[in-house]
Amino acid sequence: METLWFALVAFMLAMYVILDGFDLGTGIIHFLAARNPEERNILLRAIGPVWDGNEVWLLAAGGTLYFAFPLLYASSFSGFYLPLMIVLWLLMLRGLGIEFQHQVHNPLWKSFWHIVFSFASILLTIFFGAALGNVVRGVPLNADGYFFEPLWTTFTVVPEAGILDWFTVLMGLVAFFVLANHGSNYIALKTLDPIRTRAHTLARGSWWGVVLTSVAALAATWSIHPEIWDNYSSFVWGWIFPAAGVAGLFGMWYFNRTQEDLKAFLSSSLFIAGMLAATAFGLYPKVLPASTNPAYSLTVYNTRAQEYGLQVGLTWWLIGIVFVAGYFFYVYRTFRGRITVVTEDGGY
C-alpha cells in the first residue's frame, strides 16, 4: 500500500509539473515570444482559462502527502520553511501578475504586472528545480527525522549543505530550460504567426539548453549519489522511464522542426513525465535521503500512515480523481484551439 501511495504522489507531482509547467514556461518566454502589449495579452489568454486549475495539482499533492506520509510532510515543511515561504510569495505574485494588470487601464500599470508575472515564473521554476535537487542530493536529517537548511552555506555539496549549492542550482537550470521549452511548445500550439514562429525558435534554442543541462545533471547525480542507480540494476523494467524521457527529448526536436505543435507539446510532456518517474524510481524506497547518515533517511516505510487509513483514503482518492479528470477534460476541450482575437482590455 505504501508503494502505491508513493506512485500516486509522484503521479500528482508530475501532473503539476506538466500542466502548470507550461504556465511557468509561458512566463519565462513572456518578453521573448511577445513584443508588444497586445501580443503579451495573447500569451496570457492562452493560459488564462486553465492556469489556476493547473495549480490545484500542487495543493492536492501536498494534501495527499500529508495524508499518506505524515512524517515526511512534517519534516519537509519544517526543514524547507524558508524556501517554502519564498515559493508561496512567488505563487501569489504570479497570480497577481495575471489578474491585476486588467484592473487599471494604464500602460505603466500593465507593464509592471507583466514584469511581475515573468519574474515570478522564472524564480518559481528555478526554486522548484532546486527543491528536486535537494531531494536527490539529500538533506541533513537527524535521528528524529527532522532537519533545518539555511539558504546556502559553502555552496558545495557537503553533508551540511544549504538549500542552494552548485548541484541544486544546476537542477534549477535544468528546470528553467525544460519548462521554457515546454511553454514554447504550448504557445506554438495556441497561437498564430508571428508569435507561433517566435515560439518555434525559442523551443529550438531551449532544446539545446535542456540537453546540455540534463547531461550535466546526470553526470553530477552519478558523482554525488551513485546509489540512485541501484534500483535499475535490480529491476530492469525500470529503464522504461528514462527511455520514455529520451523518446520525448527527441520528439521535442523532431516535431518542432516539422511544426507539428501538438506532438511537440506531448513530447515535452513525455520528457517531463519520464525524467520525474526515472528519478522517483531511482530514489525508492527513500522519499527524503539523509546526507549526514543514510540510516536517518526517510522512506515509504518509516513515514507512512496506518494501513486502514491508506485503504480508506484510496477509495476516496479514486472517486476524486474521476471528478478531476472530468473537469480537466471539459475545460481543455472548451478552450481548445488557437487564440485569434484579443479583447480590448486583454481579458480572457
DSSP states along 311-339: HHHHHHHHHHHHHHHHHHHHHHHHT-S--
Does 313 fall in a domain? yes
Whether 174 and 214 have beta carbons less than 8 Å apart is answered as: yes
CA distances from 144 to 69, 182, 250, 298 (A): 15, 40, 44, 10
CA–CA gap between residue 231 and residue 282 (Å, rounded)? 6
CA–CA gap between residue 312 and residue 30 (Å, rounded)? 44
Q: What pLDDT score was predicted for residue 155?
A: 86
Q: What pLDDT score was predicted for residue 268?
A: 97
Q: What pLDDT score was predicted for residue 348?
A: 39
Sign of the Cα torsion 33, 36, 38, 40 reads positive
Sorted by sequence, the CB contacts under 8 Å of residue 104 that are 6+ apart come out as 110
Does 340 fall in a domain? no
The three cell numbers of residue 98 are 495575471
Does 35 fall in a domain? yes
Does 199 fall in a domain? yes
The three cell numbers of residue 284 are 525508492
pLDDT tens-place values along the chain, 348 residues long: 899 999 999 999 999 999 999 999 999 999 999 999 999 999 999 998 999 999 999 999 999 999 999 999 999 988 888 888 999 999 999 999 998 988 888 889 999 999 999 999 999 999 999 999 999 999 989 888 888 888 888 888 888 888 899 999 999 999 999 999 999 999 999 999 999 999 999 999 999 999 999 999 999 999 988 888 999 999 999 999 999 999 999 999 999 999 999 999 999 999 999 999 999 999 999 999 998 888 999 999 999 999 999 999 999 999 999 999 999 999 999 998 898 765 545 443
Q: What pLDDT score was predicted for residue 60?
A: 92
Question: What are the residue ranges of helices labelled H in 80-194?
Answer: 81-99, 107-137, 166-190
Q: What pLDDT score was predicted for residue 343?
A: 53
The three cell numbers of residue 29 are 518566454
Residue 196: domain span: 2-334
Count up the domains in the chain and report the number: 1
Count how many residues are written for the chain: 348
Coil, helix or strand at residue 238: helix
Does 62 fall in a domain? yes
Does 235 fall in a domain? yes
Sorted by sequence, the CB contacts under 8 Å of residue 260 that are 6+ apart come out as none
* C-beta atoms surrounding 232 within 10 Å: 16
The three cell numbers of residue 283 are 530514489
CA–CA gap between residue 261 and residue 259 (Å, rounded)? 5
Q: What pLDDT score was predicted for residue 265?
A: 97
The three cell numbers of residue 330 are 471539459
Does 23 fall in a domain? yes
CA distances from 104 to 99, 100, 101 (A): 11, 8, 7
Q: What pLDDT score was predicted for residue 342?
A: 54
Q: What pLDDT score was predicted for residue 328?
A: 93
Q: What pLDDT score was predicted for residue 346?
A: 46
Does 344 fall in a domain? no
Beta strand 286-288 pairing with 298-299: antiparallel
